[in-house]
Structure 1
Amino acid sequence: MKIAVLILAAGSASRMGEAKQLLPYKNTTLLGHAIFQAGKANIASVYCLIGANAEVIKKEIKQDVQFIYNPEWKKGLGHSIATGVNELEKKRYDSILIMLADQPAINTAYLNVLINTALKNPDSCVASGYGDKLGVPAIFPQLFYRELGKLSGDVGARYILNSGMENLIVLNTKNKIEDIDTPEDYKRLLKKINLFLNT
């Protein structure tokens, strides 16, 4: 079973005020950390969907990752997902694991739990559950490519996952979902790291 990882990093991060994909995190960046964690997982290939700040990101990221460029990234998250999925569909992957560049608590161990669950249930979506909502990281088999490929605007994969769909398996994220969207979010993240290093 061939699984590709699609890391979404096309937005302009307007609430952050700068390219949050390249904010320092540990010994790399937020995006670099996501690529590193995905690269160690049991998958076929890692792709990164970029748009805003594309040239800067490609220059800064030195890891083994294949970039997919969405020139119409301003059309929203849904359009970026559709662009990435439509491109990967041509490469005949059995499933696509969609994840974000700004969820630093997501690690290889958790990604492998998602992947191993998908391997045992190849016709089901495997989603991350937090609170009463479902979201990414999530694995979508080929059965859902067409629906993902029709997304537009800011309607993301969560719309599909929370639509009462069948063939769905939900995993407990155990507090791993923490999006870094604002300067305050980033400050809290750095504070957590410092507390961890000093204990």
Structure 2
Amino acid sequence: MNIAILILAAGGSSRMKATKQLLPIDNNTMLGLTIERALNSKANKVFCVLGANSEEVSKSIAGYNVKVILNSEFEKGLSSSIIKGIESIKPYSFNAVLITLADQPNVDTEYINTLIDTSIKHSQHIIASNYSGAYGVPAIFPSKFFDQLMQLKGDKGAKVFLNSNLETVIAVEAKDQLIDIDTREDYLNYLKNT
């Protein structure tokens, strides 16, 4: 099975008041850590959507074997990054795409591989992370859903799409993987607990 990983890292980090993608974690940056874990997974290729501060962020990840996609419309929300990403990966004929965020530092390679293994067993289903009963990303979408993903709007990203297609979703229990780092307080709490 040919799977791409699409890391969404285009946001302007307005609540953080700093370039979130470049925050230091474990001798790396938040985005660098996300990319490393993706590259170490069973996926075939890693793509990263950048937008805000793209020049600076792009330089910070230049050493990684990842294809950068620029989203000049990142201010329109997460959906714009998903659309840009799907447009860019379509020509590669992937069977599925794993969409993940750059600000979930607890999503490790093992968890990514669990999602991929589940997708291999259930290749026609969406594989989503279970946030105590609601579904979200990281999630894997088979290619038959690509056109629908390209119709998304606003800042909810794939969440609304996932939760309105429940009959096609297989959920993977995520435990503590799904902490989002949105504020300075989130970041400091994360550092304190790792």
Structure 1 runs not aligned, ≥5 long: 194-199
Q: Offset at 1:155?
A: 2.8
Q: TM-score normalised to the size of structure 2?
A: 0.97
Q: Offset at 1:175?
A: 1.6
The residue aligned with 1:32 is: 32
Mapping of residues 143-158 of structure 1, within 5 Å: 143-158=144-159
| CA RMSD across the alignment | 0.9
Q: Offset at 1:183?
A: 0.3
Q: Offset at 1:90?
A: 1.9
Q: Deviations over 1:94-126 (max 9, x none)?
A: 100000001011100010010011011111100
Q: Offset at 1:164?
A: 3.8
Q: TM-score normalised to the size of structure 1?
A: 0.94
Q: Is the Cα contact below 8 Å between 1:96 and 1:140 reproduced in 2?
A: yes
Mapping of residues 157-172 of structure 1, within 5 Å: 157-172=158-173
| Mapped partners of 1:36, 1:52: distance in 2 | 21
Q: Where in structure 1 do 4 or more consecutive aligned residues deviate above 3 Å? A: none
The residue aligned with 1:16 is: 16
* Structure 1 SS opposite 2:167: coil
1:89 aligns with 2:126: no
| Mapped partners of 1:3, 1:138: distance in 2 | 12
| Mapped partners of 2:131, 2:75: distance in 1 | 28
| Mapped partners of 1:166, 1:93: distance in 2 | 23
Identical positions, percent: 45
1:68 aligns with 2:52: no
* Structure 1 SS opposite 2:94: coil
* Structure 1 SS opposite 2:105: coil
Tell me how many residue pairs correspond in the alignment. Answer: 193
1:139 aligns with 2:140: yes
Q: Is the Cα contact below 8 Å between 1:130 and 1:175 reproduced in 2?
A: no
| Mapped partners of 2:60, 2:177: distance in 1 | 26
* Structure 2 SS opposite 1:169: strand
* Structure 1 SS opposite 2:81: helix
Structure 2 runs not aligned, ≥5 long: none
| Mapped partners of 1:40, 1:82: distance in 2 | 25
